[in-house]
Amino acid sequence: MDARYSRQLVLPGFGEAAQQKLGAARVLVIGAGGLGSSVLPALAAAGVGTIGIVDDDTVELSNLHRQTIHGTADVGSPKVASAKTSILAINPVSVTTYEERLTADNALELFADYDLVVDGSDNFETRYLANDAAHIAMVPLVWGAVSQYGGQVSVAMPDGPNYRDLFPEPGDALSCEVGGVLPTTVGVIGSIMATEVLKLITGIGDPLIGRVTTYDAKTGRFREVEYRASVEQPSVMPENDSVTPAELATMTGITLIDVRETWEAEIAALPGALVIPLGALPEVVGELPTDGEYVVYCHHGVRSLSGLHILQHAGLRAKHLAGGIDAWSKTVDPEMARY
């Protein structure tokens, strides 16, 4: 084996077999920013054979304090190009770049070429998209997030808990531009993410599956929270205000309303549904025919409860799909079962 890997080859439980797995692995990293700046060099140095990078952004001066894979001379250049140059200077592994934004149109095609995906994005839209696409493509996903002085890391498996089980709904988080970020926090979280990738590929250790590790740079403390996959969200509505997937499959003359985001519906949706994101529903509910009957749905049946309240408050006859499209895929439409 290459002498460059000698210090990890002597690790207990590692050895040549683990190194060969790294060399054969194909890992796609979303984002060549702060988290990617820690993840990408670490994976290359450890000997991951094929690395893909997805990012449509260019290097900015204000990012260099935490995006250390880039340099001053790279300002204005595509991040994927700069990152590739840095990676190859560390180790001549195979690097494929995708100078584009991850979207519902390209996610599944991109993920199909890789064994594992790392999400180092900086926004909720991409984070949920990456989670859902990885679930459908049946590939493990390592994700991390940072904000100001803190961050968190976890692993989503196709047959286990995922990001939506921990965060069913998008939350509020300040961007680095608005709220700021301590660069060393990004380095800590990125290093943990890279470690999880190496563990998943080689089979060593206990990956963060069903667990999320959080880090507080101000105190230097780590905290771990366990979470489980949601079989079905508990209903807080009377039974006659909800329908099961089996009941919905027999209903006629109803209008389906999908209150997820547009990009979610592009991945998987019920045929004929109107896509009206929950945030936009109050503005357009007055335009819906008052003599119709509606069934509202989302991913797990959480947002649809809010949508149901909005429709009923407007005087419309409506129910919501208990368990959401996730329950539908498990009981009615197996083709959608990986969503």
DSSP state of 323: T
pLDDT at residue number 336: 58
Average pLDDT over residues 12-23: 92
Residue among 48, 217, 298, 305 flagged as catalytic = 298
Average pLDDT over residues 53-79: 92
297: region left, alpha or beta (phi > 0 left; psi from -120 to 50 alpha): beta
Going along the chain from its start, the domains and CATH numbers come out as 3-226 (3.40.50.720), 239-336 (3.40.250.10)
Average pLDDT over residues 24-45: 95
Per-residue pLDDT band at 84 (split at 50, 70, 90): very high
| Lowest mean pLDDT segment, chosen from 118-122, 131-135, 287-291 | 131-135
pTM reported for the whole predicted model: 0.70
pLDDT at residue number 231: 46
For the question of residue 328 being annotated catalytic, the response is no
User: Bigger pLDDT: 301 or 236?
Assistant: 301
pLDDT at residue number 166: 85
pLDDT at residue number 234: 37
Dihedral sign for Cα 59, 113, 193, 23, please.
negative
* Inter-residue contact 65 to 59 (CB < 8 Å): no
Average pLDDT over residues 194-198: 97
Let me know how many helices (H) and strands (E) the chain has, helices first. 14, 13
**In the predicted model, is pLDDT for residue 300 greater than 90?**
no
SS3 of 143, please? strand
Q: Please tell me the distance from the alpha carbon of residue 13 to that of residue 17, in angstroms, as a whole number.
A: 9
User: Bigger pLDDT: 95 or 182?
Assistant: 95
List of E strands, 198-301: 211-216, 221-226, 242-243, 255-258, 274-275, 293-297
Per-residue pLDDT band at 339 (split at 50, 70, 90): very low
Percent of the chain with pLDDT over 90: 55
Q: Which of 22, 29, 270 is nearest to 134 (CA)?
A: 29
Residue among 28, 176, 257, 295 flagged as catalytic = 176
pLDDT at residue number 305: 78
**In the predicted model, is pLDDT for residue 135 greater than 50?**
yes
- Would you state the structure tokens that stand for residue 60, as one six-digit string? 């900015």
Percent of the chain with pLDDT over 70: 91
pLDDT at residue number 75: 95
For the question of residue 298 being annotated catalytic, the response is yes
Per-residue pLDDT band at 100 (split at 50, 70, 90): very high
